[in-house]
Amino acid sequence: MSNIVVDKSKVPWWVSNVIVPLVNLTLALLVSGLFIFIAGENPIEAVKLIIFGSFGYIQGFAYTLYYTTNFIFTGLAFAVAFHCRLFNIGGEGQAYIGGLGVFLVAINLSFLPIPIVWLLSICGAFLFGAAWAYIPAYLQSKRGSHVVITTIMFNFIASSLMIFLLVDVIRDTNQMAPHTVKLPEAIWLPSFEAFSGILGIKIRYSPLNLTFLLAIASLFFVWFLVWKTKWGYEMRAVGHNTQAAIYAGISPHKNIIIAMCISGGLAGLLGVNEILGVSHKIQAGFPAGYGFTGIAVALMGRNHPIGILPAAFLFGILYQGGSEVTFEMPNITRYMFVAVQGLIILFSGALENLFRPQIESFFVRRLSKEVSV
């Protein structure tokens, strides 16, 4: 095997940040196409269905953006922790507990003016998510327990805790299912169709709501935090080189805790979308894997808000388009699309460096030739 040595400083940014992810994505989709073919359906038709399902009509597109909202939150959550070199695998649990925060604040303070209820509920989501991330962060920074292990454990603990609460404590006692009562309608976040109604367009129901704008704002917030504040600077310093951070008088303990809490808080915001925006109650298992998919979103988006936005959108397309496909193509089940997501995660995460050296050295050679000619 030959080792390709690429001088990193000579690789143009667009090669490593655009071309390489696109190649990995294409490969994942090609392999997915093969699976669809083996399952006895036409991959080209499937692609058409995905595109139609996610862009072809307003309701479909709204669904795509609704999924995108969730992925932005969980993708950003992973990215913030990653800048401090912490693998926060616990987005799922933090989102779950964040949901509890939204609900408790909203239902107990619903007598306040509506925008204040919204604001406080958002804070509730953030704080509960942050609190859930605080414990693994504390264990990591003081006791050295690895955050990957503890956050995974905390997903299970969150799940069990929420089931306990939903069954025994906060269940809507008028029925048997593990969910709470609905929030009063007055404090629901305005939905997309309500907005369109104002503009005189009538569209059918979709779960897209005002939280989408909160997600966009979070993108800005993360960019600003990580690159424009001294907190972000210190977090990155600890992440890149803990020894150097100590030398400069930056406390790794403090920054691990700050990074994890902001990460958990962002994951918690998923609860705003799901509970204040869509179902208006806590249902068992509402984070539905968004927390885990967020890891792939962040990896694909190279942990930068500018990358996370398209990556979240892509996964939104896959979720929405995928459900369209399973609807139209009887041979393809929902799980097929879980596999497709898995392939994308595999190619853009685990196998990220499979073709990177070849692609980079190819471009470096091409570009240096152009210069010398």
Partner 1 sequence: MVSPILELTNINKSFGHVQANKNINLKINKGTIHGIIGENGAGKSTLMSIVFGLYQANSGSIKINGKDINLRSPRDSIINGIGMVHQHFMLVENFTVLENIILGFEGETVFGEKLAKAKEDLEKLCENYNFNIDLDATIADLSVGFRQRVEILKSLYRGAEILILDEPTGVLTPQEVDELFKILRSLRDEGKTIVLITHKLIEIMDLTSEVSVMRQGEMVGHTKTKDTDKEKLAEMMVGRSVLLRVDKKETKKGEVIFKVNNLSVKDDLDVIRVKNVNLEIRSGEILGIAGVTGNGQTELLEALSGIRKVKSGNIELFGEKISDQDNFLNPRMLKEKGLAHVPEDRQRMGLISDFKAYENLIFGYHDQEPFSKSALLNSKEITEYSSKIMQEYDVRPNSPNLITSNFSGGNQQKIILSRELNENPKVLLVGQPTRGVDIGAIEFIHQRLIHMRDKGAAILLASVELDEILSLSDRIIVMFDGKIVGEKENENVTDRELGLLMAGVA
Q: Where along the sequence are the contacts to partner 1 (CB under 8 A)?
A: 2, 5, 7-10, 228-231, 233-234, 236-237, 240-241, 243-244, 246-251, 364, 367-368, 371
What letter would DSSP give residue 207?
Answer: S
Q: Within 13 Å, how many C-alpha atoms sit on residue 44's CB side?
A: 0
Tokens of 265: 């808080």
User: Of 129, 124, 128, 93, which is closest to residue 106 (Cα–Cα)?
Assistant: 124
Closest approach of Cβ 13 to partner 1, in Å? 11
DSSP 56-104: SSHHHHHHHHHHHHHHHHHHHHHHHHHHTT----THHHHHHHHHHHHHH
Residue (of 234, 206, 207, 81) closest to 151 by Cα position: 81
The smaller minimum CB distance to partner 1, of residues 35 and 231, is found at 231
Q: Which is nearer to partner 1, 29 or 237 (CB)?
A: 237
Identify which of residues 170 and 261 has a Cβ nearer to partner 1 in the complex: 261
Residue with tokens 């951070």: 245
The CB-of-10 to partner 1 minimum distance in angstroms stands at 3
- Which residue(s) pair with 179 in the sheet? 283
210-234 burial by CB neighbour count: b if 16+ within 10 A, else e?
bbbebbeebbebbbebbeeeeebeb
- Which CB atom, from 142 or from 334, has the smaller least distance to partner 1? 142
Which is closer to partner 1, CB of 31 or CB of 250? 250
- Shortest distance, position 344 Cβ to partner 1, whole Å: 27
State in angstroms the smallest separation of the CB of 278 from partner 1.
34
With H, G, I as helix, E, B as strand and everything else as coil, classify residue 352.
Answer: coil
Residue 184 C-beta: closest distance to partner 1, Å = 37
- In angstroms, the CA 67 to CA 294 distance is 11
The Cα 361–Cα 7 span in angstroms is: 8
Shortest separation between residue 258's beta carbon and partner 1, angstroms: 11
Nearer to partner 1, 9 or 175 (CB): 9
Six-digit token string for 266? 């962002």
Nearer to partner 1, 228 or 334 (CB): 228
For residues 47 and 236, what is the distance between their CA atoms, to the nearest angstrom?
A: 40
Closest distance of CB 237 from partner 1, Å? 6
Compare residues 83 and 171 and give the one whose CB is closer to partner 1.
83
Least spacing, CB of residue 12 vs partner 1, in Å: 10
Q: Show Cβ contacts of residue 353 under 8 Å, excluding neighbours closer than 6 positions.
A: none
Nearer to partner 1, 72 or 81 (CB): 81
Question: What length is written for the chain?
Answer: 373
Indicate the SS3 state at residue 191. strand
CB of 265 to partner 1, least distance (A): 17
